[in-house]
Amino acid sequence: MQDKPRIIVIGAGVVGLAVAWHLAKSGGEVTVLDPEDPASGASSGNAGAVSSGSVAPLAMPGVLRQVPGMLLNPAGALRIPPDYLPRLLPWLARFVASARPARVAEIAHALSQLHYSAVEHHRAMLAEEGALDLLRGDGQLQVYFDDKHFAKDAAGWALREQYGQKIEILRGAALHAFQPGLSDAYQLGVYSPDQGFSTNPRRHAESFARGVARMGGVVLRGRAQALITEGGRVTGVATDAGPLHGEYTVLAAGAWSTQLLRPLGYAIPLESQRGYHVMLPKPGLNLSRPVVAADRKAFFTPMEMGLRIAGTVEFGGLERKPNPKRAAYLLADAARVFPGISTEGCEGFWMGHRPCLPDSLPVIGPVAKWPGLWCAFGHGHLGLTGSAPTGALLASAMLGPTPNISLAAFAPERFA
């Protein structure tokens, strides 16, 4: 092996770029491969939250009790098209199984180890790229109707506090003084001062791509068609422009990752959690931080381009066309949460594929049966949050020094 190990990273989303950045910084000769421009997929359209305190999995007992009501409401925050439900049933069975209290505790512990220093990791990377202006640390605010409404999420907040997230409860007049313009329907808020957010997620990820190039790496436009194997190990990637060979290959292709793993005998239950957003360039509203309407799981994030309203969960696979109604519901949410908001200049909507696993844990680490192959995908709605710490963790595990955090909880073999 040459002095600089050759490493191919499949995927130029924010996770793949963060992994590539750390591998290049650790001395790897890195090539990033993606059929599209860097950060042009789900990484460009997320809600911008950098939530180091996000340790509660999606499958919590309280959340499961809310799912039937969501499904019965066509405008609900969760949507599963009837014709897609049979295909989704095995995934849903795993999702429900992961809500057992003992399993929730294991998942929360693993997520706490991954996300604990997410804001600090992002800050360090952006500082090196001269893009620290993209990260703001003004916290996040989640709003509820009342104490009864808050009680549905109480277990999740208790987990966050258990792992060190600071929260402040704001009620009535104090909440509305803290966040002017909020509907009177919301009378309880949970403010998390230690959380951060990006004012432009695409530019955020693109700064990582520039860093890869600055450190000698290459970002190529090309489609990975298959993983190349030889002598019982993965030795590279077959692409539409010919083969790429390396000592290591990292699979970070988001919602498309399992298509490359399946021929090697790994059936990972990955689904696309289709997320939507609309942008309001002149909202007529002053927000200093993301505001989350808990009843709709809708994020209102102030960005360079205006106010981004992101949210809803739609399952439907990678081929189904975007549903304009899901974006229309976000505009309705805006008028309901902030009655004085302006939608002037709103043009169209965006939809992206968030790679989601039933236990809310990403797949990170080596593939046991295939030396040379590593994974970094499946971060769900926490891709931006988890990208920087995932990059640091994977680079240490691959090239040293050995990290303090075990990768066992994130192993692909957990789905065997």
Residues 129-139 have pLDDT tens digits of 999 999 999 99
Mean pLDDT computed over 280-305: 95
Confidence of residue 377 (pLDDT cuts 50, 70, 90): very high
Q: For residue 367, is it within any domain?
A: yes
Q: For residue 155, is it within any domain?
A: no
Q: For residue 406, is it within any domain?
A: yes
Of 68, 1, 15, residue with least CA distance to 247 = 1
pTM: 0.96
Q: For residue 402, is it within any domain?
A: yes
Q: pLDDT value at position 70?
A: 62
Q: pLDDT value at position 416?
A: 76
Mean pLDDT computed over 217-234: 97
Q: Are strands 29-34 and 6-10 parallel, antiparallel or unpaired?
A: parallel
3-state SS assignment for residue 400 = coil
CATH number at residue 404: 3.50.50.60
Q: pLDDT value at position 310?
A: 96
Domains: count for the chain: 1
Confidence of residue 69 (pLDDT cuts 50, 70, 90): low
Q: For residue 400, is it within any domain?
A: yes
Confidence of residue 74 (pLDDT cuts 50, 70, 90): confident
Whole-angstrom distance, CA of residue 43 vs CA of residue 13: 6
Whole-angstrom distance, CA of residue 309 vs CA of residue 331: 8
Whole-angstrom distance, CA of residue 49 vs CA of residue 135: 10
Whole-angstrom distance, CA of residue 178 vs CA of residue 50: 21
Q: pLDDT value at position 61?
A: 79
Residue range of the domain that includes 260: 6-44+203-269+359-415
Cα-Cα end-to-end distance for the chain = 32
Q: For residue 277, is it within any domain?
A: no
Q: pLDDT value at position 1?
A: 42
Q: For residue 372, is it within any domain?
A: yes
The angle, 0 to 180 degrees and rounded to 10, between the axes of the packed helices 154-162 and 101-115 is: 50
3-state SS assignment for residue 140 = strand
Q: pLDDT value at position 102?
A: 95
Work out the burial of residue 169: count CB atoms within 10 Å of its CB; fewer than 13 is exposed, 13-18 middle, 19 or more buried: middle
Q: For residue 368, is it within any domain?
A: yes
Whole-angstrom distance, CA of residue 122 vs CA of residue 91: 32
